[in-house]
Amino acid sequence: MKKILATGLTLLLLTACSSESTTTNEEAKKPEQSEVDKENKKTSEGSASPKNDTEQEETSEPSEEAVQSKDYTINENNWSINPIGDANPKVVLLTIDDAPDQHALQMANDLKALNAPAIFFVNGHFLDTPEEKETLKKIHDMGFAIGNHTFSHSSLKEISPEKQKEEIVSLNDLIESIIGERPKFFRAPFGQNTDYSRQVAAEEKMSLMNWTYGYDWEKQYQNKEAIIDIMVNSPYLNDGANLLMHDRTWTSEGLSDIVKGLRDKGYETLDPNRIKTVE
């Protein structure tokens, strides 16, 4: 795993996929948000109350017919997931970055047991061996969406346009060789897209995706109990929240309880196949 040190609040985004954080105590109380999300305060705080067991059972997962419909869009103003028409607004999207490292397969098994869809955003440097490639295929075969998180997790703003294209397209080629299809979602390392990476993603027919909140790289949340609590009780949890998590020990240990906690609050874990993407 690459380690990327944040140097201050203005570089808070750069901690999103690093293994450690040097954020100050005051900053550590804040969730990670994408650059656009920080600038755009349109997302309101969630205010829904927990539903009773019957209501949860009715809304916890979409019907087979609903899964086939494209009834949600990505709001690029704040990276939340918005319903189209009368689709249920009370949803959250689960995403796992830096896969498949050490825990992705276990996380996929735990999510599958709960019938909780998610996107696994993969890095090419975690697909070096036949075993790693087989892990990715197993995750895909369980029904999980596979997203592009670049080949080597480089900051796209710091490399040439040619290298940016290589980082994105070569990983798509590799993923397709393993699972038989190309990703439909692209998440830039640290949430840092460039004009050129946006162009390449569009050419590759991938929708851009950042996140609305995440915490598991912050030292104070690097244990099971803390990550469960903050992911379920974040002030940024609201309708359409786009949750960023990583292939890490504490997140893996807490994942099932995170899903259960979100559902206890009445949120549906959204199938990414229902999100309208670039055609």
Q: How many domains does the chain have?
A: 1
Residue 5 lies in a domain: no
Over residues 60-77, the mean pLDDT reads 71
Residue 4 lies in a domain: no
| pLDDT confidence of residue 65 | 44
| pLDDT confidence of residue 279 | 81
Q: What is the CATH number of the domain that holds 187?
A: 3.20.20.370
Which residue segment(s) compose the domain that 201 sits in?
A: 33-274
| pLDDT confidence of residue 51 | 39
Q: Quickly list H helices, the chain.
A: 25-28, 35-39, 53-59, 64-67, 104-113, 130-141, 161-179, 195-203, 224-233, 249-264
| pLDDT confidence of residue 42 | 39
Q: Which residues 6+ apart lie within 8 Å of 253 measured at CB? A: 224
Say yes or no to pLDDT of 159 above 70.
yes
Residue 63 lies in a domain: yes
Distance CA 184, CA 136 (A): 16
* Percent with pLDDT over 70 in the chain: 76
Model confidence at 104, in pLDDT bands (50, 70, 90)? Answer: very high
Angle of helix 104-113 versus helix 249-264 axis, rounded to 10? 20
Distance CA 109, CA 205 (A): 29
Over residues 139-163, the mean pLDDT reads 97
Residue 247 lies in a domain: yes
Residue 86 lies in a domain: yes
Q: Which residues 6+ apart lie within 8 Å of 198 measured at CB? A: 208
Say yes or no to pLDDT of 31 above 80.
no
Over residues 212-234, the mean pLDDT reads 98
Residue 69 lies in a domain: yes
Angle of helix 195-203 versus helix 161-179 axis, rounded to 10? 30
pTM: 0.79
Residue 44 lies in a domain: yes
Say yes or no to pLDDT of 134 above 70.
yes
